[in-house]
Amino acid sequence: MDLHILEHRLRVTSLSKAGLERYTHGLIKLVFLRDKSRCKFFSLTEMPDDYTLVLDEEGFKELPQTDYLQVAEATWLALNVVSNGHSSTCSQTIGVTKIAKSVIAPLAQHNVSVFMLSTYQTDFILVRESDLPAVIHTLSEEFSIYKEVNGESVPVDSNNVTNGFIKPKTAASPTVHPVLSPKNQFCVMSLDPDTLPTIATILMDVMFYSASLKARSADQDLGYIRFFSFSLIDGYISIVVDTQTQKRFPSNLLLTSASSELWRMVRIGGQPLGFDECGIVAQISEPLANADISAYYISTFNFDHALVPEEDIDSVITMLQKRQNGER
């Protein structure tokens, strides 16, 4: 397998909904006016109280710096696994569980924190730019590693990169975080970017205006969660919505998997997780990999989220709760 280090240098931010009106112009430009922006990597995930924005340096320039925007200190790089000759943007996802043992677990063992972003097309593993030597050192035996330079994939000489590299201390056993599963059913979809103007009004309403504070509070009381994710990365669109929101879009424009599978969410963390703890993704993805359960995984500024097939949700919750209780 090949591991590609993409060119994008990324920032991870949290935008408070209280300050949304100050950012709508920049966000609309990034989503709908691609010819007006040089941004190539943009992801927006809405949670009940904030938006997590992951975007490259060009996109970050479009965001006003105010007290409503929290910015993680590190610059992040995106890694992508290419398997069996498929490109990183092929039409079928490899699933985060497929890289749990080969990428996520080894990085956790070597004290490298990761931020995950699964899309309809692929899975991106984000690592701090400062951790790149540790990443290459850890994964060079398992993967042929390439770095994108001006659009070309250039082989990485791991000996040069890791020359003088001091192996990090093995990570301590991670905190086992509580999990919860809202009642929503989710769909993972794609869209031809050329059709964006057709659904612009609907998409803006979903992104910015679809849920009042009162409605969000009522949904949470009933066991539902406000969650919406939109990514536009290198010209490919990925959308995660619940089934109620999906009904608002023209069905003939949305691309889904052949099975049109429905997904349920597992949210990880009772309190905000932060960025320094290692092994959070591994503690979810490894059990799923052992059980051969596919999953999408979306990290946000405060919490992590795994989407698993609806028919597997009960067994997944049982499995993770046993892990939380220290059972095998």
Report the pLDDT value the prediction gives residue 157, as an integer from 0 to 100.
83
Mean pLDDT over 108-122 rounds to 93
Report the pLDDT value the prediction gives residue 211, as an integer from 0 to 100.
53
In this predicted structure, the answer to whether residue 139 has a pLDDT above a threshold of 50 is: yes
Report the pLDDT value the prediction gives residue 167, as an integer from 0 to 100.
58
Report the pLDDT value the prediction gives residue 223, as an integer from 0 to 100.
84
In this predicted structure, the answer to whether residue 175 has a pLDDT above a threshold of 70 is: yes
Report the pLDDT value the prediction gives residue 97, as an integer from 0 to 100.
76
Q: Which helix (H) or strand (E) holds 76?
A: strand 76-82
Domains of the chain: 2-155 (3.30.2130.10), 179-211+223-325 (3.30.2130.10)
The span from the CA of 60 to the CA of 62, in Å, is: 5
- Beta-carbon-side half-sphere exposure of residue 133 (alpha carbons within 13 Å): 11
Q: CA angle, corner 50, sides to 238 and 52, nearest 5?
A: 40
Mean pLDDT over 200-204 rounds to 94
Report the pLDDT value the prediction gives residue 100, as an integer from 0 to 100.
82
Over residues 250-281, the pLDDT tens digits come to: 988 888 865 568 999 999 877 777 777 777 88
Distances (CA, A) of 77 to 74, 87, 130, 321: 10, 18, 9, 32
Q: CA angle, corner 78, sides to 72 and 83, nearest 5?
A: 155
Over residues 282-314, the pLDDT tens digits come to: 888 888 888 889 899 999 999 999 999 999 999
Query: How many CB atoms neighbour CB 147 within 10 A?
Result: 18
Over residues 4-45, the pLDDT tens digits come to: 999 999 999 999 999 999 999 999 999 999 888 999 999 999
Report the pLDDT value the prediction gives residue 172, as an integer from 0 to 100.
56
The span from the CA of 128 to the CA of 116, in Å, is: 12
Report the pLDDT value the prediction gives residue 89, as an integer from 0 to 100.
45
Report the pLDDT value the prediction gives residue 112, as an integer from 0 to 100.
93
* The token pair that represents 285 in the structure block: 């993805």
* The token pair that represents 25 in the structure block: 């112009």
Report the pLDDT value the prediction gives residue 290, as an integer from 0 to 100.
87
The span from the CA of 81 to the CA of 96, in Å, is: 10
Higher pLDDT, 150 or 178: 150
The span from the CA of 162 to the CA of 137, in Å, is: 6
Report the pLDDT value the prediction gives residue 91, as an integer from 0 to 100.
41
Distances (CA, A) of 15 to 21, 44, 215, 248, 285: 11, 10, 20, 25, 27
Residue 124's pLDDT band, with cuts at 50, 70 and 90, is very high
The span from the CA of 283 to the CA of 66, in Å, is: 35
In this predicted structure, the answer to whether residue 214 has a pLDDT above a threshold of 50 is: no
Residue 88's pLDDT band, with cuts at 50, 70 and 90, is very low
For the chain, how many residues are written? 328
Report the pLDDT value the prediction gives residue 173, as an integer from 0 to 100.
63
